[in-house]
Amino acid sequence: MISNSAVELFQQRETPFYHYDLTLLKGTIDSVKSLAKQFDFDIHYAVKANSNERILQELRDAGFGADCVSGNEVKLAAEMGFPVDSILFAGVGKTDKEINLALELNIKAFNCESIQEVEVLNQLALAQDKVAEIALRINPNVDAKTHKYITTGLDENKFGINQIDLPEFILRLPEFSNVKLTGLHFHIGSQITDMKVFKGLCLRVNEIQNWFADNGVQIEHLNLGGGLGIDYNSPDKNSIPDFKTYFTIFSEFLERKANQKVHFELGRSIVGQCGSLISRVVFIKKGLNTSFAIVDAGMTELMRPALYQSYHQIDNLTSSGEEAVYDVVGPICESTDCFGKAVKLPETKRGDLIALRSAGAYGEVMTSRYNLRDQNEPLYTN
């Protein structure tokens, strides 16, 4: 719930801007941290979800590692004080420049997504006279039952190595003198709300790591990805995801080997609910059958509705009038610049403050300057 005191601060600011509730963020971090400790799981924050430096400070101070998918994310994590031995580098298209940077920083491990990537990493590590630790990202072919654009663990996704290619990899492993295989990495998708999916992942992981054991390869650590969804429909009722059920499933169904580390790369589930995009109504436009609430935030500030057809709860923070129905749209010169159709709001007028909720993940981090849009600094409240 956005407090009245926060709304008073909003009134003084130029919109649009992101607002972060640090109290909620810290409460979510505390929940993750305590439960992870209870189950002896390690957490690496997925920097791609939100790389805001104030947010990263809280995650660093909590003792989480960093899961990165670009060289600049690796660089930022190191600059922000995440210990380099807690930084993991994933991503399907790492460039030589990015790999060399990560090697120079002596990060913990690379999550490799193809045999050719392992070949290149081996060559670059040899040139630096180093041995790079790797986890092999494998497609478990588990359907995450989420939006097709954020499903990542099927055989026909661009991510990871398919199981059919594993025998070739095992045969060639002795060739790679400057890489050391220590882990397996899995990530099946994002915004997963059906917990049974994670049980299916565990069962498939058990089969795959037993196959490696049968082929003489012992796995020191498992990275189970993230993917736990948040409640976009009821952000106030369910502001902190059900981490207990999530971790319990892995504890019960994952066949963990002796002394084996288990990592999770949580992103959205930690930061998603703490952020809102705050905007002002510029005009109310009456159409033949539709009333449009035109706001000063657009797809340049929050891409998800245009990209994924995603839902964000929309609140009018400054009106208590009779309910009416609006299409809430932005100012960008694209028809997809729409945050919601037939949205029920209190009677809305020019100058009202609008909050697009649950925008802490894949919100600010995906902003652009399209249409030469200004970008305003975020606001943080405790």
Residues 254 and 351 in one domain: no
Rounded CA Rg of the chain = 22
Mean pLDDT, residues 180-188: 96
- Give the β-pairing of 261-264 and 291-295: unpaired
Q: CB of 352 within 8 A of CB of 280?
A: yes
Q: For residue 16, say if its preceding peptide bond is cis, omega within 30 degrees of 0.
A: yes
Mean pLDDT, residues 214-222: 95
Residues 335 and 241 in one domain: no
What's residue 330's pLDDT? 98
What's residue 269's pLDDT? 98
Q: CB of 163 within 8 A of CB of 208?
A: yes
What's residue 145's pLDDT? 54
**Angstrom distances, CA of residue 204 to CA of 144, 149, 183, 201, 208:** 13, 22, 15, 5, 6
What's residue 144's pLDDT? 53
Residues 78 and 206 in one domain: yes
Kindly report the average pLDDT of the chain as a whole number.
95
Would you say residue 150 has pLDDT above 50? no
What's residue 140's pLDDT? 86
DSSP 78-136: HHTT--GGGEEE--TT--HHHHHHHHHHT-SEEEE-SHHHHHHHHHHHHHTT--EEEEE
**Token pair of 52, please?**
């805001």
Final residue of a domain: which of 237, 272, 307? 272
The whole domain housing 208 covers 22-272
Mean pLDDT, residues 181-198: 94
Establish if 222 belongs to a structural domain: yes
Would you say residue 149 has pLDDT above 60? no
Q: CB of 369 within 8 A of CB of 378?
A: no
What's residue 158's pLDDT? 72
What's residue 143's pLDDT? 65
Q: Which of 254, 290, 243, 270 is nearest to 49 (CA)?
A: 270
Residues 286 and 262 in one domain: no
What's residue 142's pLDDT? 78
What's residue 160's pLDDT? 87
What's residue 153's pLDDT? 40
CATH number assigned to the domain comprising residue 261: 3.20.20.10
Residues 267 and 280 in one domain: no
Would you say residue 151 has pLDDT above 80? no
Establish if 308 belongs to a structural domain: yes
Residues 185 and 255 in one domain: yes
Residues 323 and 286 in one domain: yes
Residues 164 and 42 in one domain: yes
Mean pLDDT, residues 37-44: 98
Mean pLDDT, residues 273-297: 96
For the ranges 15-29, 73-87, 130-144, the lowest mean pLDDT is seen at: 130-144
**Model-level pTM?**
0.94
Would you say residue 17 has pLDDT above 80? yes
Residues 267 and 277 in one domain: no
Q: Where are the alpha helices (DSSP H) in 128-195?
A: 166-172
Residues 211 and 142 in one domain: yes
What's residue 1's pLDDT? 86
Would you say residue 152 has pLDDT above 90? no
DSSP 360-374: TTTTGGG---GGG--
Confidence of residue 314 (pLDDT cuts 50, 70, 90): very high
Domain count, the chain: 2
Establish if 319 belongs to a structural domain: yes
Residue with tokens 């909003």: 10
Q: Which of 62, 73, 67 is nearest to 101 (CA)?
A: 73
**Angstrom distances, CA of residue 322 to CA of 122, 286, 311, 327, 348:** 65, 17, 23, 16, 9
Residues 340 and 257 in one domain: no
CATH number assigned to the domain comprising residue 300: 2.40.37.10
- Give the β-pairing of 179-185 and 221-223: parallel
Final residue of a domain: which of 272, 292, 316? 272
What's residue 159's pLDDT? 78
